[in-house]
Every structure is written in C-alpha cells, then in structure tokens.
A and B are shown apart, each in its own frame.
Chain A
Amino acid sequence: MKYLILFTCLISFSTKIFAQDDLLQSLDSISPKKKDFVIATFKSTRVVNAHSIDVVGRRALDFRIAHRFGPFNSGFYNWYGLDGPATIKISLEYSFDGRLMFGIGRSSLQKMYEGFLKYRLLRQTTDGKMPLSITLLSSMNMNMQKKETVTNYIDFNSRFSYAHQAIIGRKFNEKLSLQVSPTLIHYNTIGISEQQNTMFMVVGAGRFKFTRSVALTFEYGLRFKNMTNNYEKYYNSFSLGIDIETGGHVFQMFVSNSIGMNEVQFLPYTSSSWKDGGIRLGFNVSRIFGI
C-alpha cells in the first residue's frame, strides 16, 4: 500500500513536472479559448466584377480604379481592343467596423452612379462551427445619361436600377475559396421588347491562391431563361483573372466578356460572347488607406 501511494504520487508528479515542454502544456490549459474568424477569403472585395464575401477592414478606405478595354475581336487595327472603346469606373469605399461597408462609384458606361451597402451577416470560424460566411449586398444605380438615351425614359425614376445579393462563401483551405450569390436585379423602367422589371440570377465565383501574394480567380453569372429579359440576345458573364497583392495594393487583371462593371449591367446585359472573341482585357486597382 505504501509503495502504491508513493508510486501514484510519483506518476502524478511526473506527468506535470518534467521539463519546460510541460510548462508549455500547462499554459495551453490557461490560454483563453476564443473563436476566431476566418480571414482573407479573397484578396479583395471584388472577385472580378462581382463582389466577394469580403468587406474592407475597420477604418479602411478602399480607392478603386477599374478599366475595361475593347474586345479582342476588333482585330489588329484596333490593337485587339487596347485602343478602346474603354470603360472606366472609379469608386471610394469605406468601413468603420469591418462589418458594414458602404461605397460610391461612377462608371463611364451609361454614366452610371452607384451607391451600395454591404454587410457581413455571418462569418466562417476557424473551429468549423460556422462553416460559411454570408454577406449581403444592396446597390442602387442611377443612369445619368441624357434623357433621350435612357431606355423608355418616363420620369426621373426611370434612371434607377437596383441589385440585391446574398453572397454565400467558404474558404476551404488557404488556397481555395468558393462562393455563390443569388441575385435580384430590378429596373424601374425597361425596354419595349422586355417583359420583366425584376430578374433573378446566380453568380458563382472562386479563387485559387498559388503563392501568398498571387491568386487565380474566376466568376460566372448564370441567367435563367424565364427570369431574365431577352435571354437569347445576351450572354452569361464569364471572367478569368489573376490577383496580385503587394501590401496596400491589389492588382486584378483578367479577361471577361462583360464591359459593364455594375451588377445591373454585367449580369443581365453582357452583349458579347467568348465564342466569337468578344472578350476583353480589364483590370481593377485597389488601394487601401488606413484612416
């Protein structure tokens, strides 16, 4: 019995006492267990044209310049699209808390002004208890072309269109992130040949990070025959790109068949197709300022 007690005593001592590594082990037990959010699902708040689930960090101002060149099939005379006609979009986006983000932008296509709100509803956690991130996006677009050029202009309301999106995404590992976004688009006024003001589509997008600073991206906007206007006249938007991140900048370069950069433009109304070389080079530059 005596020996047994001595033995037990020794065992229970030795499990804890030995060396510094065990000191580290007992540290584990007093470390606070916190739930951690998955970070950096994408390099930027956009995949190519579409929004990613990411929101800029707290007190971060994102200044973005986006550019789309002319189509490849315009031939050598037009330097395969580099001569234009090009579209440009400039925007400023900000978040106070890293959760709710807002932005304003202006695109040269249709002289379109845009304001949007983006809210991180759910965040994926590292412990896997929350497997997905969900971000909501709502944007309002104002076509400021001359009255005569706006489709079926009735009154000032005809200038407005809206996009609402629920972005559902997951970072599967350090390299692969995928997301899918059901999208509602609403135009206050539509053309004579069109039947619906409200359209529904789904955007799928993803990235594959192959070094810590460079990632491949893709994005596909799927329209549905009964839920979009002039299904045959337009094409699904498809873009393939590369993200290069250098500290405060993210450079996104890609080829896309879409020329518009706002959801209300590139999702329902992409008018050229990959098949006949109706694709173009484009880039987004994002510069983040801490304010």
Chain B
Amino acid sequence: MKKISSILILGLAVLWCNIGFAQNQLKSNNTIIKFFSETPVENIDAICKEAVSILSIPKNQMAFSVPIKCFKFKNALMEEHFNEKYMESHQYPNATFAGTITDQIDFKNDGDYKFNVSGKLKIHGVEREINLPATAIVKQGKISLNADIMVKLVDYKIEVPTLVFNKIAEEIKVSIQSTYNNK
C-alpha cells in the first residue's frame, strides 16, 4: 500500500511539474510566414500558413519553426526550384528561430508592445545570431505577434545562379504573424 501511494505521489509530482510548466507556454499552430523578393525585373512572394511557434512567458523566450515545403508560390515551377535548388528542403526541411526577449514585457496587461528578441536563426542549415524586432498586441489576454526581418541570401549560403540573378533579390523580406492560443 505504501509502495502504491508513493508511486502515485511520484506520478502526480511529474504531472504537476509538467502541467505547471506547460501553462506558461503559449503555442501557435497557425503562424503565417510570408516573404517578398523585389527586383526591377520581377517581384516574387510566397506564403506559409503552417508554421508553429511557442512563447514562454516565464522564461522570456520564444521559438518558431517553419516547414520550407509549405511555402506556396503563384508559379508552381518557382516553388519546385525554391525547394529543389535554393533551399534544398529535402536536406534542410525546416527553418527555425529561437531567442530570448531582451525587454521586460508584461504580457498579462492589454496593450501594444515593441520589443527585441535576440537569438539564433537557422535557414538552409546555417545558424546565425540575429536580433528580431517584434511588436505584440495583447487584447483580453490573447497575444498576437508581428515581426519583420530582412534575410540576406549569402548569409545563409543560398546561392542564386548568375542567369537568374536579376530576378531574385539579394535580400528577402520575411514577415511573421503569430496568434497564440490562450490556454
């Protein structure tokens, strides 16, 4: 009997710790990532609606993960080349970001917040330290987040052949939109 109760208590302890932790982790299953490439010859944009994000308020940390294959282009051939030739998504299926919020934000109160997240952005297998300026809107406890960042292709070893060089911008604007589940 004593044995059973101690196992029970142990189990509860594990459960409690995990639940306690999970409550402070806000998740977003419908994070939207868009990118734009602008050149005089051609503008290219693509959108991915299946990215995921976690915001951990007690730890002041956040993370994103974007499956490269989910980016949809208007031009199907571009989508294929994006995966096959540039991002090599068979080898590097996800782009990720994980960082720490460097400003003190009280997400419990409604309002608009501007803050910076410093962390590591990993694209095409290359990891780099970056600073991500973001804005968050807290409304009735629900947090939605927006962030824009310029990504330089050479930084992440994404090579563009000279033949299509003038069609793809050297710097790509990436925008992130996340709404976190209020649970």
Contacts and interface: CB of A to CB of B under 8 A. Distances in A.
Interface of A: 1, 4-5, 8-9, 12-13, 16-17, 20-21, 23-24, 26-28, 30-32, 34, 36, 39-40, 56-60, 98, 126, 174, 212-213, 246-248, 288, 290
Contacts, number: 109
A126 to B, nearest CB: 7
Contacts of A32: 29, 50, 52
B164 A246 contact: yes
When A and B form their complex, which 6 residue pairs have the shortest distance between CB atoms, in order from nearest?
A: A57-B76, A20-B98, A290-B75, A23-B63, A27-B65, A247-B164
A290 B77 contact: yes
A288 B79 CA distance: 13
Contacts of A31: 52, 65, 67, 94
B65 A28 contact: yes
Interface of B: 6, 9-10, 13-14, 16-18, 21, 25, 27, 29, 50, 52-54, 56, 59, 61-65, 67, 69-70, 74-81, 83-85, 90-91, 94, 96, 98-100, 119-120, 161, 163-164, 167
A98 B163 CA distance: 26
A5 B9 contact: yes
B86 to A, nearest CB: 9
Contact of A23 (B10, B56, B94): B56
B81 A26 contact: no
A16 B9 CA distance: 20
Most central of B16, B64, B96 by chain A CB within 10 Å = B96
Contacts of B90: 126, 174
B85 A213 contact: yes
B76 A98 contact: yes
B14 A57 contact: no
B25 A26 contact: yes
Given A8-B13, A32-B29, A290-B75, 7 more contacts: A20-B99, A23-B62, A27-B53, A60-B77, A174-B90, A212-B85, A290-B76
B69 A27 contact: no
Given A13-B17, A23-B98, A60-B77, A30 B163 contact: no
A24 B99 CA distance: 10
